[in-house]
Amino acid sequence: MNNFSTYLQEKNFDLWKLANVDHPFVKGLGDGSLPLDKFQYYLKQDYIFLFYYCKVLALASSKSNTENIMSKWVSLLDETLNSEMNLHRNFCKEYGISEAELENTEKDSSTEKYCNFLLKNAEENSIEFIAVSLLPCQWGYQEIGQNLSKNPNLDPKSFNYKWIESYSSPEYQEVTNWLKNYVDEIGKDLNSVNKDIFNKLFQSGIKFEIEFWDSAWNFNNR
């Protein structure tokens, strides 16, 4: 029998594939064809998203019932706050986005909805629900980074190379694999009704991921 994370992925295979393999934004990152203005727009929105993502991770840490579990959530928070967000700040500086512009960026509708979804779920529900809600993003980026890093024609000087390098790094793999394993443990004690509840939460997360990519891809097409 498959573990619970794989069960959730397979139950939503078409959505998962669209979000992490077939979306034109993801494909553009992989082959280097993504226009810089779309990447800049994504960076600014994702910076805001990561700020809220860190709030959710902090809530997960506060709801931990053991020191070991708390330390893992803190590690994930540290990786996001001090590595991933720093990557975004450096990207923005390198590609013409000032610190003031970054800090004054307003959430677009897809970012707003996604942040509200994660934060509301984290405030109202237990740590198990937080873990499942975060998995589509955390695991999806891992899969994208791993898949795109296999391209032998990546230009080391390109912005997409640095992005791919970050999400295929050992540090990112470590914290993501922990979250997957944590969700797998959750699934061991669930009946079919509760599995369905968590599946709907996971599915919602993937849909928000797709909307987030859509928003960046459609920038300047509006």
Q: Which CATH number belongs to the domain containing residue 133 in this structure?
A: 1.20.910.10
Q: Which domain holds residue 69?
A: 4-217
95, pLDDT greater than 90 = no
* Band of pLDDT at residue 144, cut at 50, 70 and 90: very high
Assigned domain for 222 exists: no
Residue 49 lies in a domain: yes
- In the predicted model, what is the mean pLDDT of residues 69-89? 92
Q: Residues for the chain: how many in total?
A: 222
pLDDT, tens digit (0-9, with 9 covering 90-100), for 146-155: 999 998 888 8
The answer to whether 88 touches 43, Cβ cutoff 8 Å, is: yes
Judged against a pLDDT cut of 90, whether residue 2 lies above it is answered with no
Indicate whether 118 pLDDT > 70: yes
% residues pLDDT > 90 (the chain): 82
Please write the tens of the pLDDT for every residue from 24-50: 999 999 999 999 999 999 999 999 999
Q: Which long-range contacts (CB under 8 A, 24 or more apart) does 89-96 make?
A: 89/47, 91/43, 91/159, 91/162, 91/163, 92/40, 92/43, 92/44, 92/47, 94/159, 95/36, 95/39, 95/40, 95/43, 95/159, 96/40
Is the CB of residue 133 less than 8 Å from the CB of residue 201? yes
Q: Is 92 a catalytic residue?
A: no
pLDDT of residue 220: 78
pLDDT at 6: 97
DSSP state, residue 102: H
Overall domain count for the chain: 1
Is 203 contained in some domain?
A: yes
112 is catalytic: no
CA torsion sign for 38, 44, 48, 53 is positive
Residues 6+ apart with CB under 8 A from 70: 61, 64
pLDDT of 1:
57
Asked if residue 165 is part of any domain, the answer here is: yes
- Which pLDDT tens digit goes with each residue over 156-213? 888 888 899 999 999 999 999 999 999 999 999 899 999 999 999 999 999 999 999 9
Alpha helical stretches, state H, 12-158: 13-17, 24-31, 36-62, 67-79, 85-94, 99-103, 109-124, 127-148
Q: Which of 137, 174, 185, 211 is catalytic?
A: 137
Evaluate if pTM is beyond 0.85.
yes
Cβ–Cβ under 8 Å, residues 208 and 114: yes
Helix 36-62 to helix 67-79 angle, to the nearest 10 degrees? 160
